[in-house]
Amino acid sequence: MGFLEILFSAGTLSQILTGLSRTTILFIVSSGLSLILGVLRIPNIAHGSLYMIGAFTAYSVISFLGGGTFAFFAAMVAAPLVVAAIGFVMERGFFSYLYDREHLMLLLLTFSFALILGDLVKIFWGTEFRSVEPPAFIQGSAEILGLPVPYYNLFLLAVGPFIAVFLWLVVNRTKIGKISRAAAVDAEMVSAVGINVGWVFAFTFVLGCFLAGLGGALIAPMTSVSLGMDHSLIMEAFLIVIMGGLGNVWGALLGSLIFGLSQSLGIMVWPQFGIVFPYLAVVVVLSFRPRGLLRSVW
Amino acid sequence: MRRIVSVLAGIIVVCCVASFAFAGPTIKVGIVDTYTGPVTTYTYDVRDGFKMGVDQINAKGGVLGKKIEFVVRDDTFKSDVGLAMAKELILNENVDILMGTINSATALAISELCKKEKVPFLVTFSKSGKITGEKGHRYVFNLNENTDMIGRATATVFAKKPYIKYWIAGDDYEYGHAIADAIWSHLKTLNPKVQMIGQSWWKMRETDFNPYITQILAAKPDFVIVATGGGSMVNFQKAAQATGFNKRAPFYQHTGIELSTLMPQGQNAPEGVFGTANYLFYYPETKVNKSFAADFEKLYGRHPKSGALYGYMAAQFIANAYKKAGKIDKEKFIDSLEGMALDSPIGKLEVRKCDHQIVLPMFYGVTKKSPKYEFLVGGDLVSIAGKDYMPTCEEISKARAK
């Protein structure tokens, strides 16, 4: 098959749709990581573990409520809140004491949290793989030009823009959002005008963790909820954040789009080596724009 | 000064007691395996099955008047860590036997060490065919199936089916490629008409299979061989269920009918998936299998999976080999383990003399709903006898001579 033939084949549309639904999860998780990186300057390695806890909590809520549409939406709200609460304890209880120390300390602390949270998941939920189903109205798949696209992927596609608009509103239209943007540029100046920077940091960290939890809850019906699901994601999320520009939420969106689409379209062109395409995209982007696509706040 | 003396005295007493304990009348087994991360769903079963076997043996007075005790080390899935732990167990703990691991690279590294140190090493979950194949030697035994055996067993099943156009997909790591290569090379020999129309390889722990599934369906293969392991087993089946993949293109997975894959999905696992497994707690429906499964469930509150059988049988083989040897001696142990055949929950298992590979049956079936359980089970089960899918001893010696 020629390249053009592949490009205009029936598979292209469904590949774009599934690629975009992948983008949604990547964006939700990496925007949280980027927020924390931008404002608090913490490369939060435990972000993946928080995502994993989000998925396990969603599993528990859905099984506790016995499945169904209500249980699903309850889990989508409860899981991010639980993770946000864990984030609050992490920030107030540990990170807040280390802001004047060098960044290496913070990095080590996030690493230890990744290990501790991973073990806590093992203690709480055990070692079996877990699985939850999407609610009945988004089970199965739609047929687009003869190829299946799962309704759940289409649901994610619809959720993505809402999250993006919500984040835009929080960051650009609320007072705390504006303060956190200012703190990202110059935390000292913000505290000099009498604002308690500590609470700005706490708010941002909790919001970032909320997003990690939401990403985990949303991926739960698509995959097996299991130990180790944090590892592959944290790598991808960091690459996206670096590609998009450190600390820039819109950069995270752009990075997620490139990552998600290059994967799904790459698989179509060359299925045997489909996995290299997103990483190739990262290399290309960073060769031309070493500081990322959009302005980095660092 | 007095305090220092009393502390020193204390240390000396503790050391004496400890050394007496070590020199005590026990057989010591060291286990190196991965107890962190997703593979624990398999390794915990090996450890718990082994403990169940050991406890039963010790309750009956042990072997040759000695109790079996075991120490466990977590290699966190890293080969260098595992190798260091194996060394520590040999040098400091003076273990009589080493056991483990789920990581084939670690198993091969420890196997080399055991060859040098002359310590028997029983492999309990690594699937690399190299362990008892080209890299095999006197001190290593494999007590579970390997990729070469899986390939041969699967090829014998599919060579009889009418499928011609195959697509191969899998996890892009050694286990995935080894399974796919083994199936494909044997399938081509048995049925020269088959063609491979394409391949896709995804990263380990891929969460979104839809882009791959769309691509495979667009190529319209007759049959798809899916070489996945670990968490990808469930992930792929979930994606197959959501897209109706199994209804458009029939596919096969080793362990596709196993409990570790089907139980998490409850009633929502895809039906009609072809799979093989080496242990199912509900099949064969014999008294000994039922009582083994019931004992395990009573102790640990869950159904046993294949790892539980391997761990349990490792304990039986250790006890019987020492009994036959008549003394605690590493070389005698190996001599008596060679060619030993024991009854197990799934029938007679034999440790083949020529390559130290266990000969065990393989169960082939198709996923289907069950009125008895809350999850899907393997249906239309067929047992493939171990001798029918083993490489011959000549093939092994040829591979080792290379």
Query: Stretch B231-258: mean pLDDT, rounded?
Result: 94
pLDDT at B38: 84
**Residue B205 contacts by C-beta under 8 Å, 6 or more apart in sequence?**
A228, A229, A231, A232, B38, B230, B231, B232, B235
The CATH number for A20's domain is: 1.10.3470
Question: Is some CB atom of chain A closer than 8 A to the CB atom of B353?
Answer: no
Q: What percent of chain A has pLDDT over 70?
A: 96
pLDDT by residue (tens digit) across A85-143? 999 999 999 999 988 888 889 999 999 999 999 999 999 998 888 999 999 999 999 98
> At how many degrees (to 10) do helices B174-190 and B104-117 cross?
90
Query: Stretch B378-395: mean pLDDT, rounded?
Result: 94
Most A CBs within 10 Å: which of B210, B241, B300, B303, as the mutation test of the A interface? B210
Tally Cβ neighbours within 10 Å of residue A208. 29
Sheet with B377-384, side-by-side order of all strands: B195-202, B165-171, B223-227, B251-254, B274-277, B362-368, B377-384
CATH of domain B149-277+361-389: 3.40.50.2300
pLDDT exceeds cutoff 60 at B237: yes
* DSSP, residue by residue, B45-94: HHHHHHHHHHHHHHHTT-BTTBEEEEEEEE-TT-HHHHHHHHHHHHHTS-
Residue B349's φ and ψ, nearest 5 degrees, are -115, 135
A156 token code pair: 């994610």
Longest Cα separation, chain B? 87
B49 token code pair: 């099955």
pLDDT exceeds cutoff 50 at B268: yes
> B231 and A149 in contact by Cβ < 8 A?
no
pLDDT by residue (tens digit) across A46-88? 999 999 999 999 999 999 999 899 999 999 999 999 999 999 9
pLDDT at A165: 93
Buried b vs exposed e over B313-342: b needs ≥16 C-beta within 10 Å? Answer: bbbbbbbbbbeebeebebeebbebbeebee
Residue at A296 is within a domain: no
Query: Stretch B312-325: mean pLDDT, rounded?
Result: 97
Most A CBs within 10 Å: which of B208, B209, B263, as the mutation test of the A interface? B208
Question: Using CB atoms, which residue from A128, A224, A228 is nearest to B238?
Answer: A224
Structurally, how many domains does chain A consist of? Answer: 1
> Are the C-beta atoms of A203 and A180 separated by less than 8 Å?
yes
pLDDT by residue (tens digit) across A238-297? 999 999 998 888 999 999 999 999 999 998 888 888 889 999 999 999 999 988 998 876
Question: Is some CB atom of chain A closer than 8 A to the CB atom of B71?
Answer: no
Closest chain A residue to B270 measured between Cα atoms? A140
Query: Stretch A216-230: mean pLDDT, rounded?
Result: 92
pLDDT tier at B9, thresholds 50, 70, 90: low
Q: How far, in Å, CA of A69 to CA of B281, rounded?
A: 34
Is the ipTM higher than 0.85? The answer is no
Question: Using CB atoms, which residue from B172, B215, B216 is nearest to A275?
Answer: B172
pLDDT tier at B5, thresholds 50, 70, 90: low
Report cis status (omega within 30 of 0) of the bond before B276: no
> A275 and B202 in contact by Cβ < 8 A?
yes
Q: How many helices (H) and strands (E) does chain A have?
A: 12, 2
> Are the C-beta atoms of B402 and B134 separated by less than 8 Å?
yes
pLDDT by residue (tens digit) across A257-267? 999 999 999 98
Q: How far is CA B94 from CA B28, B29, B326, in A?
A: 8, 9, 20
pLDDT exceeds cutoff 90 at B68: yes
Question: Is some CB atom of chain B closer than 8 A to the CB atom of A12?
Answer: no
Closest chain A residue to B40 measured between Cα atoms? A127
Query: Stretch B180-187: mean pLDDT, rounded?
Result: 96
pTM: 0.86
pLDDT exceeds cutoff 60 at A220: yes
B61 token code pair: 């007075």
Identify the weakest region by mean pLDDT among A260-269, B106-115, B281-290.
Answer: A260-269
Instruction: Tell me B161's DSSP state.
Output: S
pLDDT exceeds cutoff 90 at B20: no
Residue at A294 is within a domain: no
* DSSP, residue by residue, B118-151: T--EEE-S---TTTTTTT--TTEEE-S--HHHHH
pLDDT exceeds cutoff 60 at B16: no
Query: Stretch B25-54: mean pLDDT, rounded?
Result: 94
Instruction: Reduce the DSSP state of residue B380 to 3 states and report it.
Output: strand
pLDDT exceeds cutoff 70 at B337: yes
Residue at A229 is within a domain: yes
Longest Cα separation, chain A? 65
pLDDT exceeds cutoff 80 at B238: yes
Q: Is B161 exposed, middle or buried (0-12, 13-18, 19+ CB in 10 A)?
A: middle
Residue A288's φ and ψ, nearest 5 degrees, are -90, -35
pLDDT tier at B17, thresholds 50, 70, 90: very low
pLDDT at A4: 63
Torsion sign, CA atoms B97, B102, B107, B109: negative
Domain locations along chain B: 2-145+288-360, 149-277+361-389
pLDDT exceeds cutoff 60 at B23: no
Binding-face residues of B in 217-276 toward A, CB within 8 A: 217-218, 231, 233-235, 238-239, 242-245, 248, 260, 263-266, 268
Residue at A297 is within a domain: no
pLDDT tier at B7, thresholds 50, 70, 90: low
Architecture of domain B2-145+288-360: 3-Layer(aba) Sandwich (3.40)
Instruction: Tell me B387's DSSP state.
Output: G
User: Token pair 């505290």 is at which residue?
Assistant: A191
Identify the weakest region by mean pLDDT among A136-145, B64-73, B236-245.
Answer: A136-145
Range of the domain at A169: 3-288
pLDDT exceeds cutoff 90 at A210: yes
pLDDT at A183: 84
Q: How far is CA B295 from CA B48, B263, B300, B303, in A?
A: 11, 19, 9, 10
**Residue A51 contacts by C-beta under 8 Å, 6 or more apart in sequence?**
A29, A212, A213, A215, A216, A219, A229, A230, A233, A234
**What is the average pLDDT value for chain B, to the nearest integer?**
92
Q: Is A51 exposed, middle or buried (0-12, 13-18, 19+ CB in 10 A)?
A: buried
Q: How far, in Å, CA of A230 to CA of A236, rounded?
A: 10
Question: Is some CB atom of chain A closer than 8 A to the CB atom of B76?
Answer: no
Q: How far, in Å, CA of B223 to CA of A166, rounded?
A: 45
Residue at A282 is within a domain: yes
Q: How far, in Å, CA of B153 to CA of B147, rounded?
A: 10
pLDDT exceeds cutoff 50 at B18: no
Query: Stretch B20-43: mean pLDDT, rounded?
Result: 83
Backbone φ/ψ region at B361: left (φ over 0), alpha (ψ -120 to 50), beta? beta
Instruction: Report chain A residues whose CB lies below 8 A from the CB of B38.
Output: 127, 129, 226-229
The number of C-alpha atoms within 13 Å of B264 and in the hemisphere containing its C-beta is 32
